[in-house]
Structure 1
Amino acid sequence: MENKWMRAVLPALLIHCSIGTVYCWSLFKADIAYYIDRPLSEVEWAFSLAIFVLGMSAAFGGRFVEKNVKRSALLSTLFFTVGMVGTGFFIYQKSLIGIFICYGVIMGIGLGIGYLTPVKNLMLWFADRKGLATGIAVAGFGLAKVIASPLMEMLMGPTNADGTLQNPANVYNMFYILAAIYAVCMIIGFLLIRKPKGHVESAAAAKAFSYRKVLSNKVFIGIWIMFYINITCGLALISQEKSMLAAVGFTAIGLMSAVTAVFNAGGRLFFSAWADRLRDRNTIYKIIFGSALVSIGAMIVFDGINAGSVVLVVVLLCVINAGYGGGFSNLPTLLADRFGLNSISTVHGLALSAWAFAGLSGNQLSAKILAATGSYDYVMYAILALFTVAILISMFVVKPGLVTFGQKEAIAKEQHA
C-alpha cells in the first residue's frame, strides 16, 4: 500500500472527481429555480458564490493544507458533503438564502480545501514527473462532469414537454443521494492519502514564508493575472457554448457538450505532461494563449458567428476548453518552479484567488456584451484583447528563476543546527 498510486493518485482522483461535480450546475439550476419559484438569474448566484468561496478558501487555507494533508482531506469531505445535504434541505424548504449558504459558502469551502489537498502530495510522490501527476488529479476535476452528468439525469428522472421534471421533488432528493456517494468516495480518499514516508515539513521554511513578499512579487502578480484572464475568457465562451452552437445551426449540442468536457479534461493532462519535457513550464501558457489567439482571430477574419462557421466554432470551443483545463493543471507546477515546493500549497492557494474573481466576472463578461450589442463579434474582440495581454505578460513578466524569500537559507540553517 506504500506506493504513489495508492497514497497520492487514487485519493486525488477520489477527491477531485467528487468536488468537480460543481461544474454540473447547469444541469439542475433551472429545476431548482422552478421548484423554489424564483428567477433563474437569482438562483445563478449560488454557483458564482461557490466559485468565489472556493478561490478565497484556497487562498486562506493553504497553510492549513501544508501542515496536515489528512486533516485537510477530512475537512473538505465534511464541508462538501454537509453543503450538499444542506442544499437539498433548503431546496425542499424553498429558501434561496439557505441554498446560497449551503451550496455557495459551505460547499465552497469544501471545494477550496479539497482542490488544494492532493496537489503538493502528488508533487512530493512524483518528484520527476510533477506535471503528469498534478495533471491526472486536476483532470479528475474536469472529468467529474462527464461522470456525474448521466447519474444526475437518471436521479432527476424524466421531464415533461416543457422541460420541467415530472417529479420536481427529485431535484432535492438527488442532493441527498449524491452527498452519500461522495462522502464514501472522499472518506476513502482521506483514509488513503499520505505524504511520502520520512517527509517532514520544514518549520523554518514555514516561518520564513512571507505573504507580503509573495503578493508583491511581480512574477507572482504576472502569473495571477495570466490565470485570471485564462479563466475569465474560458468562462465567457464556455457559458455561451450552447447558444453559440445553436446560432450556427449545430443541433447535436449534447454530444458537443461531452466533447468539450473531454477536451477540458484532456487539456489538463496533455498540457501538464508536455510541460514536464520543457525547460520552462511557462512555455505552455504561451502555447495556450497563442492557440486561443489564432482560433479567435480565424473567427473574426471569417465573419464571426454565422451559419457557415460551424467548423470554426467547434474548433474554437475545443481549443478554449483544452487551454482552460491546461491553465489549471500547470499552475501549481509553474508556481513550484518559481517559488519552490516548501510552501507550494500556500502559494497555490493565493493564486487560486484569481479563480474566485474570474468566477464572478467570466460569465458576466459575455452576458453584458451580448446584452449591450446583441453580437458575438464584440465578445470575440474583448477576449482577443484579454488573451493578447495574457501572452505579453507570459513573455515579458513571468521570467524563469527561483524566488525563495529566504526559505532556502532557513532550511539550510535548520539542517545545520
Structure 2
Amino acid sequence: MRAVVPALLIHVSIGTVYCWSVFKQLIADQMHTAPGTIEWAFSLAIFFLGMSAAFLGPVVEKDIRRSALISLVCFVAGFAGTGASIAAGWLPGVFICYGAIMGVGLGVGYLTPVKNLMLWFSDNKGLATGIAVAGFGLAKAIASPVMTWLISSVGLTNMFYVLAAVYAVMMFLGFLLIRRPAGYAYSAAARVRRRTVMRRPVFWAIWVAFYLNITCGLALISQEKDILHDALAAMPRFAGLDATAFAAATAGFISMVLAVDAVFNAAGRLGFSTLSDHCRRRETSYVVIFVMSIAVCAMQVAFHSIDNATMWMILIMLFLVNAGYGGGFSTLPVLLEQHFGMASVSTVHGLALSAWAFAGLSGNQLASFVVSHASDPAHRYAALMPILAVLYTVALVAILLVMWDRDKHSWQRAQRGFQPKR
C-alpha cells in the first residue's frame, strides 16, 4: 500500500507523455505549424526529464515525499499550461510547458518510487523496479483511448484541462501514501559521489547501451502510427479509398495496435526486470533485449521495405521493440545497484537517465530526418531499419563490455582471496 499503489498512481499519470502521437498532428494543425516543429515539444520533455533526474537524484534519495510533491506541481502545471498555450496560439508556451515544466515533473516523478520499491522488495529488486515503471509503460494503453474520446467530445484544449485535474488527484494521493519501509534511515555518508560514478568506465558503457536502446525505441515509437498508416495504405483492400474513407476504415485498427504496443511496453518492464532476478548477471536481460531487437529490425531489412512486409511482421517488430524498450528502463536500476550499491541508487539512476535526455533529442529527430530524406518516398521507412539494426548492435557490444569488466574484476578479487559479488 505504501509502495506499489503510490508508484502506480505517479507513473500512470506521468507515463502519458508517450501519448504524444495521439495529438501532435492536431496541435500542429491548430497552431498552423509544421509537425516537425511541434515534435520539439516532445523532445524537450524527454530532455528535461533526463536532466532533472540527473541533477535532482540526491533530492529523491533524501526525501521522496518532497520529490513526489515537486513532480505533482510541475507535471500538472505543465500539462494544463500546454492546453492554455494551444488555446492562446502561443507556440513557445507549448515548448515551455510541455517540454520544460512538465519535463521536470516527469524526471523527478520517474525516480521517486523506484528505490522505494527496491527497499520494500529487497529479495526481488528486479520485479520491484518492473512494478515501479510498468505503470509508466501502461499509461499509454490507458490514456490513448481516453484522450481520443475527450478530444472528440470536448476538444483538444479542454482535453488537457480535464486530464490535468485527474492527474492532480492521482498524484496527490500518491504523495499522501508514499513511505519508506520501517527502519530505513537516510545516510549521506554512505552515498557515492556523482564525480566518482562518472569516473568509472563501466558507468559509461551502461550509459551508452541505455542511450542507444532509448534512441532506437523512440525512433520507432514516434513513427509507429505513420508506419501502420503506410502499411495499411499499401494493402489491396484499401486501394482506391479516399482519405476520409481510409481514415474511417483504419482508425480502430491503428488505435488497437497502439494500445497493444503499450501493453507490450509494460509487459517488457515487468518481464525483463523479473528475468534479471533469476540471472547470475543483471546484464543478461539487456543481451536478450538487444539480440531480439537486432533480429526484428534485420527481418524488416530482409524484406527491403516496411510496405512490402506482411502486416504480422510489422506488428511483431513494433511489439517486441516496445517490450525491449520498456525492459531497458526497468532493468537499469538493479543493474546500477549491482555495480554501485543500494545506498546511492537514486543518485546513480538519475545520472544514467541523462541518457534518456539526449535520446529524447536524437530518437524521434533521427527518425524524422531519415524518413523526410528518403530517396524513395513510397518506401520512406525502409532506410530506418538498417540504421536501427546497427545502433542496436553497438548497444549489444557496450553491454558485453560491462559483463567483461565485471568478470575481470571478479577474477582479480578471487586472486586476492575475495569472493566475487553476486
Give TM-score, length-normalised by structure 2: 0.87
1:87 aligns with 2:70: no
| Structure 1 contact 338–402 (Cα < 8 Å) conserved | no
1:196 aligns with one of 172, 181, 203: 181
Q: Which residue of 1 aligns with 2:413?
A: none
Q: Secondary structure at the match of 1:290?
A: helix
Q: Which residue of 1 aligns with 2:218?
A: 235
Q: Which residue of 1 aligns with 2:266?
A: 265
CA distance in 1, matches of 2:185, 2:73: 26
- Give matches, 1:117-156, under 5 Å: 117-156=112-151
**Displacement of 1:124 after TM fit?**
0.4
| Structure 2 contact 145–255 (Cα < 8 Å) conserved | no
CA distance in 2, matches of 1:35, 1:369: 26
| Structure 1 contact 247–307 (Cα < 8 Å) conserved | no
CA distance in 2, matches of 1:263, 1:186: 24
Q: Which residue of 2 aligns with 1:302?
A: 303
Residue 73 to residue 308, structure 1, CA distance change in 2 (3 Å): closer
**Displacement of 1:95 after TM fit?**
0.9
- What letter is aligned with 2:225? K
Q: Which residue of 2 aligns with 1:328?
A: 329
| Structure 2 contact 303–309 (Cα < 8 Å) conserved | no
CA distance in 1, matches of 2:149, 2:318: 27
1:384 aligns with 2:389: yes
| Structure 2 contact 141–260 (Cα < 8 Å) conserved | no
| Structure 1 contact 295–315 (Cα < 8 Å) conserved | yes
**Displacement of 1:262 after TM fit?**
1.1
CA distance in 2, matches of 1:367, 1:149: 22
Q: Report which stretch shifted further, 280-289 or 362-371.
A: 362-371
Q: Report which stretch shifted further, 307-316 or 282-291.
A: 307-316
Q: Which residue of 1 aligns with 2:8?
A: 13
**Displacement of 1:285 after TM fit?**
0.3
| Structure 1 contact 338–401 (Cα < 8 Å) conserved | no
**Displacement of 1:401 after TM fit?**
7.3
- What letter is aligned with 2:392? F
| Structure 2 contact 21–225 (Cα < 8 Å) conserved | no
| Structure 1 contact 80–108 (Cα < 8 Å) conserved | yes
Give TM-score, length-normalised by structure 1: 0.88
Q: Which residue of 1 aligns with 2:419?
A: none
Where structure 2 has 5 or more consecutive residues not aligned to the other structure, the ranges are 236-249, 410-422
CA distance in 1, matches of 2:46, 2:105: 11
Q: Which residue of 1 aligns with 2:240?
A: none
CA distance in 2, matches of 1:226, 1:150: 33
Q: Which residue of 1 aligns with 2:199?
A: 216
Residue 401 to residue 62, structure 1, CA distance change in 2 (3 Å): farther
1:175 aligns with one of 152, 160, 168: 160
Residue 122 to residue 362, structure 1, CA distance change in 2 (3 Å): same
Q: Which residue of 2 aligns with 1:410?
A: none
**Displacement of 1:39 after TM fit?**
2.8
**Displacement of 1:268 after TM fit?**
0.6
CA distance in 2, matches of 1:322, 1:257: 13
Q: Report which stretch shifted further, 12-21 or 41-50.
A: 41-50
CA deviations 1:36-66 (Å, max 9, x no partner) are: 3333322221111111100100000101101
Q: Which residue of 1 aligns with 2:209?
A: 226
CA deviations 1:83-109 (Å, max 9, x no partner) are: 122222222211111221111111111
Residue 303 to residue 156, structure 1, CA distance change in 2 (3 Å): closer
Q: Which residue of 1 aligns with 2:414?
A: none
- What letter is aligned with 1:360? L
- What letter is aligned with 2:173? I
CA distance in 2, matches of 1:176, 1:243: 27
Identical residues among aligned pairs (%): 56
CA distance in 1, matches of 2:57, 2:407: 23
Q: Report which stretch shifted further, 141-150 or 170-179.
A: 170-179
Q: Secondary structure at the match of 1:200?
A: coil
Where structure 1 has 5 or more consecutive residues not aligned to the other structure, the ranges are 1-5, 159-166, 404-417
CA distance in 2, matches of 1:27, 1:246: 13
| Structure 2 contact 21–222 (Cα < 8 Å) conserved | no
- What letter is aligned with 1:229? L
Residue 153 to residue 310, structure 1, CA distance change in 2 (3 Å): closer
1:400 aligns with 2:406: yes
Q: Secondary structure at the match of 2:18?
A: helix
Q: Which residue of 1 aligns with 2:246?
A: none
| Structure 1 contact 156–171 (Cα < 8 Å) conserved | yes
**Displacement of 1:402 after TM fit?**
12
CA distance in 2, matches of 1:302, 1:46: 34
